[in-house]
Structure 1
Amino acid sequence: MLVIFPFFITMMSLWPSTSSSESQLRKDILQNYMKELRPNVTQMVINISFSVFHLIGFDDKNGKFTINGYLGMSWTDSRIAKSWAFSEASEIGTSTMYFKESDVWTPEIRQKNHYSRSDFEKVIEETVIFHKNGSAVMMKMDVFTMECTTFFSFFPFDTQNCSIDVLIWGFFNGEIALNAPYPKVNMKLFSEDNVWHIRDTRINVESVYGLGINDIYQVPRAKIESKILRSPSYYVTCLIVPLIFMQCLQSCVFLMPWDCGERASFAVTVLLAIALFLTMVTEHIPKAAKTHFSFLGIKMIFDLLVGIMIQISAIIIQLVYYQSRRSEPKFFGVNIIRVVLNVICSVVCRVCDDGDFKDNEDNDQEQKSEIWIERGNKMDKFCFWFANSLTLISILFFCVVVGSSDY
């Protein structure tokens, strides 16, 4: 106890002296400091990095990408190092000093592709950490909202490339150069989103947007790129799988008994259901997308056309079956319909090439009915397998297209 008490008294006596020495050091550093001037006469290098906390969301209809993170920058200010070294209070033992952004020179940041005005362009002061050798570190935390060009060709297995374009405004390439010591975005504190996931990141540094005829008038830019991919589980279970089931279901109209009276209504119902699903897909694809088509949309349009063909085929086959109940035609229009149906039957099922099934005057009414029923059965079989073949082609086409994507 006798040893600790004098030590405590000594530390308490040094505390006001240390605090006043830091205040004096701060005054000495900022005494002749002009924050309007760039720290170095020659080209200075600013190291830039980016860390992301959370992917807030991606509005695919409006092309709006929002993430939460901070932009880290570091540079060297030789004036701070000289003032620190010549100050009488430089021997206090501290190696770092904290300044407000408004007290020292800091690079002026502009986001080129912001969706709305960014927070770091408002009056929000950050703290700049200076070391004894003049190196400075500043981190600007913000919710970054940016415009993103959308590509929906492989929807819902699509990936989007979004980027934050950061410009060092007010200085040209000959005065300031950007450097990215870490080519990837820091993801250590990142929390995943339920719908979108960040697959890959990259930080590119270049000088673009020339304002003159020489390279010295180009503005330094850092492009922080993120490749995000959609979680397709919702669309697979609620859109694609039901659509495939309905595709298989619509060809079953040819398996229904011809005299049940529900063949046409069944085909129309399935056709309207596919049209409804096509409307659901178009609601998710924005009009402002760079690619104005989706392979899923093309597939559904093809399925809609197949459904129309099935509907027309079901009506024609029903007319073929209905001829078995007719007697001799009473007017010229019915005779024309029979001629057309004979031609269709001869092309589809080739029944008219058999002598036993020729619809001529020597056959009685019962035999003619059997002829038309047999023709209808063979047309049902042909249309059933033909419709299933088109359905299989549609499914394989979509699977091959999805497999060729970079998902």
Structure 2
Amino acid sequence: MIFAFVLLFLEKEECLEEIQKTQKIIPSILRKKMNHLKKRLPIEEQQLFTGHRRLVEEILESYDPTVHPRRDFRESTRVNLSMSLYQILEVDERKQSIVVNVWMFLDWDPNKFEMINKTIVPYQQIWVPDTKMDRRSTEALMNAIVETGYWRKDGKGAAVQLMFPAIYKLSCRMNVRFFPYDQQNCSFIISSWTHDSATINYHYERPTVNLLNFAQNDEWTVISFNFERIEQQFKCCKNPWTMLYAHLVYSFKLFELFFSLFLVIQRKPLYYIVNLVLPTSIITVVAVTGFFTPSSSSSERDEKLYLGINTLMTMMLMLLMV
């Protein structure tokens, strides 16, 4: 029995040695195959293969996209925010809301990767700050552009740029007192949902929103669209929260963002002047003239009554257009 056990043990050891040898041989065979394939590629494709592939594999090898990447936990991550207003989709005075279409705009040594300074990776593979609007929104995140921080020499790692289109439906308090010459000021807030200023610090790249690609609206004119950075202290938290207020002024009014965005828009009154102001003015003149016209017979009085009723009904129909 002892002899059989020893033989079994020796056979097991021999099997393990064979497995270990095979494990050593297989990677070498794969490496030879890969080298053979790379030799068959043109020089430019070899450089692309070795450079970009090694770069992406190395920077994401031990990277966890669920963990906030900070070299020094005492320093906050700076998030620069810029915006390009593309279109005003809807302004609803009754619901007091406005819908806008906007665009919201890891480290390595380039000497080791054929001087590659910039690469593109899927946004799911990197950490993205939980930047949120304080209103309902639809966002479509795209791939992220990662640029090395080697040349900055500040030890803060690579710069990640994330650009994506978004549609925001924002509540806005409307003031139609001077309709159709009204100007509306609305505000909305951009901030992190879970991080205070000790971990994420929001800044704007420029104080105004880019309007170069703005598709002109038939009813509204954008007067201004500006950022304002605000730090607000809440009772629940030790550190203040950084907010960007966006102020949109349209003639119609203003937008705010924790990063405050201020949007100012103004209504174009020509349509309402031609289709509402002038007709109602004419109807009013006719009604007043008919009221003060003297009448000496019952038939004339009946005609005045019919004129008054007709002008009143016409005025009611015109007011339904508002």
**Pairwise same-fold verdict (TM > 0.5):** yes
User: 1:270 is matched by which residue type in structure 2?
Assistant: G
Q: 1:61 maps to which residue? A: 94
Residue of structure 2 in register with 1:179 after alignment = 203
Supply the AA of the counterpart residue of 1:237.
V
1:33 and 2:63 correspond: yes
3-state SS of paired residue (1:212):
coil
What per-residue deviation string (whole Å, max 9, x for no partner) do you get for residues 269-318 of structure 1? 3365346535644663xxxxxxxxxxxxxxxxxxxxxxxxxxxxxxxxxx
- Is 1:204 the equivalent of 2:217? no
- Match of residue 142 from structure 1: 166
Residues 31/52 of structure 1: CA separation in 2 closer, same or farther (3 Å cut): same
Query: Shift of the alpha carbon at 1:255?
Result: 3.6
- 2:238 equivalent to 1:218: no
Q: Percent identity?
A: 17
Q: Which moved more, 1:168-177 or 1:182-191?
A: 168-177
Give how far 1:191 is off.
Answer: 1.0
> Aligned residue for 2:147?
131
Q: Using the TM superposition, give the Cα deviation of residue 28 of structure 1 relative to its aligned residue in structure 2, in angstroms.
A: 0.8
What does 1:368-383 align with in structure 2 at a 5 Å threshold? none
Q: Cα offset for 1:182? A: 1.1
Q: Specify every segment of 5 or more residues in structure 2 that has no aligned partner in the other structure, as ranges.
A: 1-39, 150-157, 244-257
Moved more, 172-181 or 249-258: 249-258
- Note the alpha carbon deviations across 1:195-237, whole angstroms, 9 max, x for none: 12212111122233725153x0535322222111212222211
1:162 paired to 2:195:
no
**Which amino acid in structure 2 is aligned with residue 70 of structure 1?**
W
Residue ranges of structure 1 left out of the alignment (5+ in a row): 1-9, 73-79, 285-407
In the aligned structure 2, how far is the partner of 1:139 from the partner of 1:235?
Answer: 39
2:83 to 34, 50, 61: 50
Q: Report the Cα distance in structure 2 between the residues aligned to 1:18 and 1:154, rounded to whole angstroms.
A: 63
Separation in 1, partners of 2:172, 2:199: 30
> 1:202, 1:224 within 8 Å by CA — same for their partners in 2?
yes
| Change over 3 Å in CA distance of 1:177–1:278 after alignment to 2 | farther
Which residue of structure 2 lines up, in the alignment, with residue 97 of structure 1? 119
Change (3 A) 1:247 1:125: closer
- Spell out the pairing of 1:300-379 with structure 2 (5 A cutoff): none
RMSD (Å), alpha carbons: 2.7
Alpha-carbon distance in structure 2 between the residues aligned to 1:279 and 1:175: 58
Aligned to 1:251: 288
Q: Match of 1:234?
A: 271
Higher helix share: 1
Q: CA separation in 2, counterparts of 1:153 and 1:201?
A: 23
Per-residue Cα deviation, 1:293-348 (whole angstroms, up to 9, x for no partner) = xxxxxxxxxxxxxxxxxxxxxxxxxxxxxxxxxxxxxxxxxxxxxxxxxxxxxxxx
SS in 1 for 2:163: strand
Cα distance in 1 between the residues matched to 2:101 and 2:313: 40
> Residue 247 of structure 1 aligns to a residue in which SS?
helix
- Number of aligned residues: 258
Q: Contact (CA 8 Å) 1:152, 1:158: kept in 2 or not? A: yes
- Indicate the SS of the match to 1:245: helix
Q: Distance in 2 between matches of 1:36 and 1:255?
A: 81
Cα displacement string for residues 336-393 of structure 1 (whole angstroms, at most 9, x for unaligned residues): xxxxxxxxxxxxxxxxxxxxxxxxxxxxxxxxxxxxxxxxxxxxxxxxxxxxxxxxxx
Secondary structure of the structure 1 residue equivalent to 2:215: coil
Report SS of the residue matched to 1:119. strand
Larger Rg: 1
Residue 35 of structure 2 aligns with which residue? Answer: none
What are the Cα deviations for residues 64-111 of structure 1, in whole angstroms up to 9, with x where unaligned? Answer: 311211112xxxxxxx12xx12x8x73312210111111111111212
Change (3 A) 1:270 1:94: farther
TM-score (norm 1): 0.57
CA contact under 8 A between 1:57 and 1:193: conserved in structure 2? no
Question: What does residue 347 of structure 1 align with?
Answer: none
